[in-house]
């Protein structure tokens, strides 16, 4: 399985991965719960799945438009005062959740692809923390 096939399975399962992720993430990192106090989790699950689509597409086919969008997401996260240090926690929780979601289909190569894709996206989001980006 590669990152594209992984994303396809995630999309077929609708919001299942997102549900698993938020359960794991907020249980493992209760200090980040205040950032989600007023969040509509049904909407958030859609946003998370959409973000994974953007991350996978940028990893496979980087474009300036997606780069600018990821920087804009960073700007928005900065406005919400989400600490940069929380991104590593998010990444580890996402990879752990993906491993559980995919079960026997998970592999070190798939983890490497997702980690690289997420790291690329986070780097662009961090650029959005440094400057105000508008879309």
Whole-number pLDDT of residue 134: 53
Residue 114's nearest CA partner among 127, 129, 99 is: 99
Quote the number of domains for the chain.
1
State the pLDDT at residue 135. 53
Q: How far apart are CA 14 and CA 52, in angstroms?
A: 12
- Asked whether residue 135 is assigned to any structural domain, the reply reads no
Domain contains 92: yes
Query: Phi and psi at residue 40, in whole multiples of 5°?
Result: -85, 105
Which domain does 39 fall in, by range?
3-130
Digit-coded pLDDT (tens) for 13-52? 999 999 999 999 999 999 999 999 999 999 999 999 999 9
* CATH number, residue 9: 1.10.490.10
The full length of the chain comes to 135
Query: Do residues 15 and 46 lie in contact, with contact meaning Cβ atoms separated by under 8 Å?
Result: yes
How many other C-beta atoms are found inside a 10 Å radius of the C-beta of residue 2?
A: 13
pLDDT tens digits, residue range 53-76?
999 999 999 999 999 999 999 999
Q: How far apart are CA 116 and CA 123, in angstroms?
A: 11
Give yes or no for residue 132 having a pLDDT over 70. Answer: no
Checking if the pLDDT of 133 tops 60, the result is: no
Answer for the pair 74, 129: CB distance below 8 angstroms, yes or no: yes
When the pLDDT of each residue in the chain is averaged and rounded to a whole number, the result is 94
């Amino acid at each position: 399985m590669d990152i594209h096939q992984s994303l396809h399975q995630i999309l077929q399962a609708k919001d299942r991965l997102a549900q698993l992720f938020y359960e794991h993430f907020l249980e493992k990192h209760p200090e980040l719960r205040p950032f989600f106090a007023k969040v509509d989790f049904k909407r958030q699950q859609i946003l998370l799945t959409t973000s994974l689509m953007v991350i996978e597409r940028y990893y496979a086919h980087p474009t300036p438009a997606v780069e600018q969008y990821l920087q804009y997401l960073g700007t928005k996260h900065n406005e919400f005062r989400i600490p940069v240090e929380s991104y590593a926690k998010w990444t580890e929780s996402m990879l752990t959740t993906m491993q559980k979601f995919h079960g026997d289909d998970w592999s070190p190569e798939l983890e490497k692809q997702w980690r690289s894709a997420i790291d690329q996206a986070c780097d662009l989001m961090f650029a959005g923390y440094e400057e105000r980006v508008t879309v």
